[in-house]
A and B are shown apart, each in its own frame.
Chain A
Amino acid sequence: MAKAELTPAQRLALARHPERPGTVEFIQNLFTDFFEQRGDRLCADDGSICGGIARFHGRSVTVLGHRKGRTLEEHVACRFGMPTPEGYRKAQRLMTQAEKFRRPVITFIDTPGAYPGLEAEARGQGEAIARCLALMSSLTVPVLCVVTGEGGSGGALALGVGNRVLMLENAVYSVLSPEGFASILWKDASRSAEACDVMKLTAADLLELGVIDGIIPEPEGGAHLAPQVLYRALDAALARELGELDKVRPAALAAARYQKFRKMGEQALRKERP
């Protein structure tokens, strides 16, 4: 039971571990015949979002997720998994095709947040994320999302409007990075461990808040220590959830997803005047 004793800050460290498997490894190990689709058809291809068509248990699906990169060159090219508007517009393109060809959508979420850069702002980072949210909410195919590492801010949520949202046991998901949170609230980024404690960013916290639907167990000490064990658990969870969603009619899939997110934050409302 040593796992249960990890602090939120320790889980954050595991979620950010440089050897932690990510989207690319999941696609290689859980899917076959992956064809990567690149480019937003407007101006560029953003490597920090990787996606395409692949087979999952024999059927075609659209799979996409954040890519942080493995080597120094890849880290730089992917900005450590922080997408630009081009990345989000590529994601929209892939999901629109999934709808057209009736493919389920599977997303893997692992980003510190959308890239806060000059060009990203000039090309409409906010608009790109908003369109992702609107589009995902309306898809009539099954949408399965897994927060696999860091789920940071709107840059994570942009791939997170699913019928089911799962989290790996040591993943975190929050409105902002703990460092950003501490620097905004306390003007002190070094108090991030303290921020982790109040932010409710662990999988267990988020399950309790109704933000996610399930937790996928990790091998002791974190996913990077025994990736094959994790792949088996992740594969089983995805296959099970997809099997359930297959029974739901297209219009009902969109309606159920709407209702799921419509209820988010219900517990935070007070109806009488204070």
Chain B
Amino acid sequence: MSSILAQRRQKLLAMKALRSTPHVPVYTRETCPGCGQMVERRELSNHQYVCPLCGYHHPVGAYYRLSLVLDKGTFRELDAALASNDPLNFPGYKAKLDSARRRTGTGEGVVTALGRIGGRKVAVGALDSRFFMGSMSAALGEKVTRLIELAGKNRLPLILFSASGGARMQEGILSLMQMAKTSAALERFSRRGGLYLSVLTHPTTGGVTASFASLGDIMLAEPGALIGFAGPRVIEQTIGEKLPEGFQSAEYLLEHGFLDAIVPRGELRSTLIRLLALHGKEGDRHGQG
């Protein structure tokens, strides 16, 4: 019976992941933003949306992201119905929310789930840059906080894939407060011995960078990802000059001491498995959690 359930879960995730892949028109070829060469769409999807010519990592949606790292049939989504409610009655926000929901098939800018990676039970979340740029809403902060608290309660490792343009302007100060809420939850989780692997993907900026994304025990990033607090445009305006090539890239952050490693998409799952195993107790019964 459980295998039928697992098959169903797998089908559901595969279906959602399909919607969650980068939007490319029906034409079979497209221009890569990394190298400017024409690349076949099938080639891209065969390579997890990494350009086979130059290695450019296309942003991908949350379900697809999770389908790349979770063991088959283990995805169990949490709080799927939890969504934002336009708390400030912000002009036009409700309509924009509705259209984002239709387009992405998710209720909010993050998908959270329980699942297994290499047999090890984990609490995992992925932000979706196609949903309001993965910006921090009260609902996004709440889903992330619930995931952290659940991981703490069940003594599970926590993995978050960040991708965010910053604050959700339409939720104003309530968006800002999610930085404190999520950081407080992580601090509590950490003090009780919880393991948190933070994976930064393109782009991770603003309030998400200045809260949960930066608080990992292990900090990983995808190649070429833009990572920073202030946006490049704001900085250019402040200092009145062009920013150097590669500023705020994952490679720049690694050089400046804010990352443990840059991991290409194709090696993320095996890297996570390795890190989880290194944090396991000796003789840990993998898959028994």
Chain A residues within 8 Å of B, Cβ to Cβ: 114-118, 120-127, 129-131, 133-135, 137-138, 153-154, 157-158, 160-161, 173-176, 180-181, 184-185, 198-201, 206, 209, 211, 257-258, 261-262, 264-274
Contact = CB atoms under 8 A, between A and B. Distances in A.
Nearest to B215: A130
B38 interface: no
B229 A268 contact: no
Contacts of A206: 173
A126 B169 contact: no
Interface residues of B, number: 67
Given A130-B215, A198-B90, A116 B171 contact: no
B235 A199 contact: no
Nearest to A138: B187
B184 A133 contact: yes
Contact of A117 (B167, B188, B238): B238
Nearest to A123: B256
B214 A126 contact: yes
Given A121-B228, A134-B187, A268-B138, A209 B173 contact: yes
B109 interface: no
A270 B176 CA distance: 19
A130 B210 contact: yes
Contacts, number: 203
Interface stretch (B77-85, B112-120, B263-271): B77-85
Given A130-B214, A133-B179, A269 B256 contact: no
A130 B183 CA distance: 7
A176 B228 contact: no
Contacts of A153: 167, 176, 207
A200 to B, nearest CB: 6
Given A124-B214, A133-B210, A269-B84, 10 more contacts: A121-B235, A153-B167, A154-B179, A174-B173, A175-B207, A211-B173, A257-B184, A262-B184, A268-B85, A268-B87
A274 B100 CA distance: 12
> Which of A121, A124, A129, A268 neighbours the largest number of chain B CB atoms within 10 Å of its CB?
A268
A264 B180 contact: yes
Contacts of B83: 269-271, 273-274
Contact of B211 (A125, A133, A174, A201): A133
Nearest to B170: A185
B81 A118 contact: no
A116 B230 contact: yes
A200 B173 CA distance: 8
